[in-house]
Structure 1
């Protein structure tokens, strides 16, 4: 089977690998699409080191073509989204339902070989069957949309709330879509004019001197952007940090205490409820995240696909 591996930073190679075996608790998936995000770019550029040659990719979807002997609730022919964070299910965090904090988490494409191959073997419990009516373009956004919807769930946003989304990369754009599906109002702050225009086409409003936002969702990971965004939050408001940076924040306790702002981080999602809920929303046709996809590539164009993540106003993906 064909697969794409990273041989050194920013060097990808299309190789031929043996088709994986399907274990008793696994399903074999014929891949149909794979979305790309900033985490993939970090691996691609070498800022997130891996042992080369490394099989890339984690936002995968496809069709089940074989089912392990111990699997009873998955069937050949189902189209599925793959949940690429395998929690252990045994640690205190997992037992508390906080699987995103699992210290034993297997992270596909980061500390475990990825999904950028024609066939992959995946634990059945981490595949999510979707209705046949769900378009592949919408399905390929499932993982990233689940990250956005989990941040919204943790924030407590409700219908009518005014929300500032800082950063309109693919995660920010999906947040805008998910907020509007909930009935909240999304405003976007982003220096890339193409991304602002795309967000506006989804119904988000650009920020023009507005402040007094009930909620802030920071997706860029830029400390200064968070600092500026916090200044626009209403007293008693909530800020959700989705973007990640290792640089210190320009923040004092007085910034939070006097205005009584809640500051919270949101990492991926919790298994199994968050992925299950997102797929159910896709099945109902309540949201069509595929409109965020702005650049489509073939498997043979993987290098161009990964490089495009830096500049595309929207999300890039690879179609099989």
Structure 2
């Protein structure tokens, strides 16, 4: 048996010490989880706005850890590797998967949504979704590999060239990661964020507050809010692109006069594509000096998982939960 944080009801987590150990399949590895990050998707599961197959349910999908067991079809040399877990498993047979768009898979397995999550001491994952991290990768950077992959996939799909000006709407953890990546690539970045502390974090990463009336070539909306998306749209220059990354509960009001007369493009960016986006992100951390762990603002032990989830919506930056201790870097 092992320890895990399980959702018992909307808004109520319990840390148990008798959760069943995972069984390692032939193409799987067992990962001893070190840290798990909290994002908006997890908060939706926690508060009940996103339903899960059953209760109790293990949540959390941003994680890193160490391989402690390998299946019969996995090279034994992988034992001991420090890995980041890719938590979305495309089916590889539906139309989008066959069309090289696995992020749009019609039958995707997603940890913490339709498959049990990662907020447990040990988990079984397919070996191909456990990505080896370079020696020396910090715990903070490792736990942020998955959300940084979401950010870099959005940037890739935006087709940025040169030093195009960018607007980031929303300075939650994903917005901050976009700021970090965009400024690191030399793009001037402005941020639209009503929360003063979150805006200050974005400024500390090289962004500027978005002045009213300024036009931008590309806007990334991470807020998922109707006001955020509409605010991004009106600040786009002619031939600009709006990249929608966040998903909210209300539709964005779109003024078709603005879209048509300015020749705008609206693009949805759904997570990332397997298998190339995760290793591309890990390379970017090594090659380009990205340090996604800069967005980590608070770390909680597993015993305080309830507090971590309850306070995350109002805390600037990312909250993470340490599940097991140990040096995996």
Same fold, judged at TM 0.5 (above): yes
CA deviation vs aligned residue, 1:285-319 (integer Å, no higher than 9, x gap): 61001010001000001001111221111000011
Give the distance between the partners of 2:75 and 2:114, measured in 1 at CA.
28
Report the CA distance between 1:159 and its aligned residue. Answer: 3.4
Superposition map of 1:240-259 within 5 A: 240-259=243-262
* 1:39 and 2:44 correspond: no
Distance 1:240 1:74, change over 3 A: farther
Root mean square deviation, CA, Å: 1.3
In structure 1, distance between residues paired with 2:7 and 2:92: 31
Give the corresponding residue for 2:31: 29
In structure 1, how many angstroms separate the alpha carbons of the residues matched to 2:253 and 2:49? 24
Residue of structure 2 equivalent to 1:3: 4
Q: Deviations over 1:117-168 (max 9, x none)?
A: 0000000111100011111100100100000000000001133111000000
Distance 2:223 2:77 in 1: 37
Q: d(CA) in 2 for partners of 1:133 and 1:195?
A: 29
Question: For 2:172 and 2:101, how far apart are their aligned partners in 1?
Answer: 27
Output aligned runs, 1:44-59, within 5 Å.
44-50=46-52, 51-59=54-62
Is the CA contact 1:97–1:271 (under 8 Å) kept in the aligned structure 2? no
Q: What SS is found at the alignment partner of 1:28? A: strand
Contact 2:172–2:316 (Cα < 8 Å) also in 1: yes
Q: Deviations over 1:70-98 (max 9, x none)?
A: 11386011100000000111222112210
Aligned to 2:206: 203
1:200-241 deviation digits (Å, cap 9, x = unpaired)? 111111112351201000011111221122111100110000
Conserved 8 A contact 1:87-1:94: yes
Structure 2 residues without counterparts, runs of 5 or longer:
324-329
1:102 aligned onto 2:93? no
For 1:289 and 1:176, locate their aligned partners in 2 and report how far apart those are by CA, in whole Å: 10
Is residue 311 of structure 2 the alignment partner of residue 308 of structure 1? yes
Q: What does 1:238-277 align with in structure 2 at a 5 Å threshold?
A: 238-277=241-280
> What is the SS of the residue equivalent to 1:243?
coil
- Spell out the pairing of 1:1-320 with structure 2 (5 A cutoff): 1-15=2-16, 16-50=18-52, 51-72=54-75, 75-284=78-287, 286-320=289-323
Kept after mapping to 1: 8 A contact 2:225/2:249: no
Q: Which 5+ residue runs of structure 1 have no aligned equivalent? A: none
Name the counterpart of 2:327: none
SS at match of 1:258: helix
| CA contact 1:130–1:283 (8 Å) conserved in 2 | no
